[in-house]
């Protein structure tokens, strides 16, 4: 059985590490590396794309990608050191095979929501302080003393951590 990935290196539990192509013995179920992703060459002639791989030694794998509406894969051993893989697929046609992105991750959505909430909080608070409380200047910052205290506490935490990492205590030993 042949396995092939033309885009990314893959590994199996056996000797097939950082591979582009491997062959699995049907009897022993052992994998054997026949091509690595490094050192491949790519050509395109008369509608056929060809990728030539080596294992870094004497084995050569030729992969022929044929643009077709049908899907098929044929693999054969040409001789002791040469393998031929022929893949027919619409994905071998330029621009015919696209992959949908999964969209935004949960973390990205959370950050966007958090930024929207903070922005809304700031705008509403500033409008309230300006027109209802008639504040001006620095007093327009909502909960200014809270934010100043959080900043001071964060700085103290950084100083404490740095002093522990450097091994310097600012307290006298008794």
**pLDDT of the residue at 152:** 95
**pLDDT of the residue at 86:** 92
* pTM, 2 dp: 0.53
**pLDDT of the residue at 9:** 87
Q: Would you say 84 and 108 are in contact if contact means Cβ atoms under 8 Å apart?
A: no
Go through the chain and tell me how many residues it has.
174
**pLDDT of the residue at 114:** 96
Write out pLDDT tens, residues 145-159.
998 999 999 999 999
Q: Would you say 50 and 67 are in contact if contact means Cβ atoms under 8 Å apart?
A: no
Which regions in the chain score pLDDT beneath 70?
A: 55-56, 99, 168-174
């Amino acid at each position: 059985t042949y396995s092939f990935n033309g885009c990314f290196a893959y590994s199996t539990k056996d000797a097939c590490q950082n591979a582009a192509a491997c062959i699995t013995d049907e009897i022993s179920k052992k994998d054997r590396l026949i091509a690595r992703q490094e050192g491949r060459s790519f050509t395109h002639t008369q509608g056929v794309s060809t990728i030539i791989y080596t294992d870094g030694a004497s084995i050569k794998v030729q992969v022929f990608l044929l643009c077709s509406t049908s899907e098929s894969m044929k693999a054969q051993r040409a001789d002791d050191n040469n393998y031929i893989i022929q893949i027919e697929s619409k994905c071998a046609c330029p621009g015919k095979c696209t992959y949908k992105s999964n969209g935004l991750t949960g973390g990205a959505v959370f950050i966007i929501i958090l930024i929207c909430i903070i922005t809304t909080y700031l705008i509403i608070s500033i409008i309230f302080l300006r027109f209802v409380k008639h504040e001006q200047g620095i007093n327009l910052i909502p909960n200014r003393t809270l934010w100043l205290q959080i900043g001071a506490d964060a700085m103290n935490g950084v100083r404490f951590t740095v002093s522990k990492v450097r091994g310097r205590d600012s307290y006298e030993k008794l």
